[in-house]
């Protein structure tokens, strides 16, 4: 079990701290835990892809614990992270006459987690939400830390709120039904944690790459647990991305988002774009003299062994100018000036501002 200790105003922060359970066979534990937290009713918001399987198991556990339980299904895919979906769920909750003793339980990947968290944050000025992440990305990343939101036509994640869950149940067994490509995409975020926070974990990943790729449950459980613990630590120290610590989690993401946008959403999975992004960020760090070629090589080798793309061409032929333009508009850039999270060794990275676009361009086209 991992505890997310939120720093801040005494008892208030303490009250919002929560546990992340990580392991196998956890879906059956959801009901008793939520019941114990004082819920009388539960609304399960489920990705349609897991509605009949994992979400049904969670609903069964909730009912067995004596909770009146409703399930709302959400169509699979990024387009569900929309105002239309949020509106539909708000109305559904209104019809159910939901009150404070009704808890929301999100079962699915990052899409359902972000959408359900946003709905919970906003409906009746805030309902308790629990996350049951069923993708690797969601287990190691999106279910932890309280960032919720929806997309607009103008851009991803533009409307949202910080809303911490009451608890997270990361059940490795739920990943059994996940397609390989989605699983591998999640491995990119795991490599990210090793690269920016934990050299020892990075070395473990190098030694266990084949087992992870083969989806060995013990290795997967260890990697999820360690990644979740690293993210929990960062979130606990910088919940609202103020000190800059949490910003380090965006390693590979400024480049990655640009590739995602330029390739067109849906072409690259998020983790694939992040892998290419990390390969570019490492090259940029090397150009700035922060790391040497050996570090770039180790990261490339690990990503490649995990079947992740590193070559910019994997995103198709995109002009570097187009990528630079997208990055300048990124909501994480400051007034159009480019900032990147860059490593200075394996296990440590920081946000570096005011980077010369000429170097960024070189990193984009470097082999």
Ligand X SMILES: NC(=O)c1ccc[n+]([C@@H]2O[C@H](COP(=O)([O-])OP(=O)(O)OC[C@H]3O[C@@H](n4cnc5c(N)ncnc54)[C@H](O)[C@@H]3O)[C@@H](O)[C@H]2O)c1
Q: Which residues are catalytic?
A: 125, 147, 189, 231, 241, 246, 250, 253, 257, 270
- The helix (H) or strand (E) run that includes residue 161 is strand 155-162
Give the residue with the Cβ less far from ligand X, 54 or 225.
54
Exactly one of 110, 236, 309, 343 binds ligand X (CB under 6 A); that residue is 110
Q: How many residues does the chain have?
A: 367
Min dist. Cβ of residue 149 to ligand X (A): 7
> Does 134 participate in binding ligand X (rule CB under 6 A)?
yes
> Does 157 participate in binding ligand X (rule CB under 6 A)?
yes
**Torsion sign, CA atoms 132, 141, 228, 14:** negative
> Does 79 participate in binding ligand X (rule CB under 6 A)?
no
> Does 177 participate in binding ligand X (rule CB under 6 A)?
yes
Q: Report d(CA 168, CA 19) in Å as an integer.
A: 6
> Does 108 participate in binding ligand X (rule CB under 6 A)?
yes
Q: Which stretch binds ligand X (CB under 6 A): 29-37, 170-178, 213-221, 323-331?
A: 170-178
Q: Which stretch binds ligand X (CB under 6 A): 76-84, 89-97, 162-170, 349-357?
A: 76-84
Min dist. Cβ of residue 45 to ligand X (A): 12
> Does 235 participate in binding ligand X (rule CB under 6 A)?
no
Min dist. Cβ of residue 279 to ligand X (A): 19
- The helix (H) or strand (E) run that includes residue 32 is helix 30-36
**185: exposed, middle or buried (Cβ count in 10 Å: 0-12, 13-18, 19+):** buried
Min dist. Cβ of residue 77 to ligand X (A): 6
Residue 235 vs residues 35, 66, 280: alpha-carbon distances, Å: 26, 33, 25
| Contact call for residues 309 and 272 (beta carbons, < 8 A) | yes
| Contact call for residues 60 and 30 (beta carbons, < 8 A) | no
Q: Report d(CA 342, CA 354) in Å as an integer.
A: 13
Please name which of 136, 302, 129, 272 lies closest in space to residue 203, comparing C-alpha atoms: 302
Min dist. Cβ of residue 297 to ligand X (A): 27
Strand partners, 18: 4
Give the residue with the Cβ less far from ligand X, 232 or 296.
232
Q: Report d(CA 293, CA 318) in Å as an integer.
A: 25
**Tokens describing residue 171:** 């059940």
Give the residue with the Cβ less far from ligand X, 67 or 188.
188
Cβ-count burial 311-328 (b if 16+ within 10 Å, e if not) = ebebbeebebeebbebbe
Strand partners, 44: 71, 105
Min dist. Cβ of residue 300 to ligand X (A): 23
Helix, strand, coil percent values for the chain (each to nearest 5): 55, 20, 25
Give the residue with the Cβ less far from ligand X, 81 or 225.
81
Give the residue with the Cβ less far from ligand X, 150 or 205.
150
Question: CB under 8 Å to 115, separation ≥6 — which residues?
Answer: 45, 74, 80, 81, 85, 86, 89, 106, 148, 150
Q: Which stretch binds ligand X (CB under 6 A): 86-94, 108-116, 198-206, 355-363?
A: 108-116
Give the residue with the Cβ less far from ligand X, 67 or 112.
112
Give the residue with the Cβ less far from ligand X, 273 or 342.
273
> Does 141 participate in binding ligand X (rule CB under 6 A)?
yes
Exactly one of 4, 51, 102, 145 binds ligand X (CB under 6 A); that residue is 145
Exactly one of 22, 43, 106, 114 binds ligand X (CB under 6 A); that residue is 114
Min dist. Cβ of residue 266 to ligand X (A): 10
Exactly one of 81, 226, 246, 339 binds ligand X (CB under 6 A); that residue is 81
- The contact set with ligand X (CB under 6 A) reads 47, 49-50, 54, 76-78, 81, 108-112, 114, 134-135, 137-138, 141-142, 145, 147, 157, 174-175, 177-178, 182, 270
């Amino acid at each position: 079990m991992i505890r997310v200790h939120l720093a801040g105003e005494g008892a208030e922060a303490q009250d919002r701290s929560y546990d992340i359970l990580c392991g196998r066979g956890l879906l059956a534990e959801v009901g008793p835990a939520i019941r114990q937290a004082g819920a009388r009713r539960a609304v399960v918001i489920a990705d349609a892809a897991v509605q009949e399987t994992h979400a049904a198991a969670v609903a069964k556990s909730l009912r067995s614990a004596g909770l009146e339980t409703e399930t709302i299904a959400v169509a699979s895919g990024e387009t569900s992270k929309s105002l239309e979906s949020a509106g539909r769920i708000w109305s559904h909750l209104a019809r159910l006459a939901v009150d404070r003793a009704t808890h929301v339980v999100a079962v699915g990947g990052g899409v359902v987690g972000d959408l359900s968290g946003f709905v919970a944050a906003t409906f009746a000025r805030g309902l308790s939400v629990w996350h049951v992440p069923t993708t690797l990305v969601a287990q190691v990343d999106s279910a932890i830390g309280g960032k919720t939101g929806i997309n607009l036509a103008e851009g991803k994640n533009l409307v949202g709120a910080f809303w911490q869950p009451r608890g997270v149940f990361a059940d490795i067994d739920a990943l059994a039904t996940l397609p390989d490509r989605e699983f591998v995409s999640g491995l990119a975020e795991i490599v990210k944690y090793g690269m920016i926070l934990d050299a020892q974990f990075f070395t473990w990943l190098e030694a266990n790459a084949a087992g992870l790729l083969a989806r060995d449950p013990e290795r997967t459980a260890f990697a999820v647990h360690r990644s979740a613990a690293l993210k929990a630590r960062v979130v606990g120290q910088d919940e609202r991305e103020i000190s800059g610590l949490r910003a380090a989690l965006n390693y590979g993401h400024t480049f990655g988002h640009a590739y995602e946008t330029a390739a067109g959403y849906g072409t690259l999975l998020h983790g694939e774009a992040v892998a290419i992004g990390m390969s570019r960020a490492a090259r940029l760090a090397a150009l700035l003299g922060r790391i040497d070629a050996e570090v770039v090589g180790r990261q490339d080798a690990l990503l490649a062994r995990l079947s992740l793309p590193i070559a910019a061409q994997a995103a198709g032929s995109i002009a570097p100018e187009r990528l630079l333009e997208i990055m300048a508009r990124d909501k994480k850039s400051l007034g159009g000036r480019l900032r990147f999270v860059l490593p200075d060794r394996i296990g440590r990275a920081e946000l570096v501002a005011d980077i010369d676009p000429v170097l960024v361009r070189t990193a984009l086209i470097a082999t």
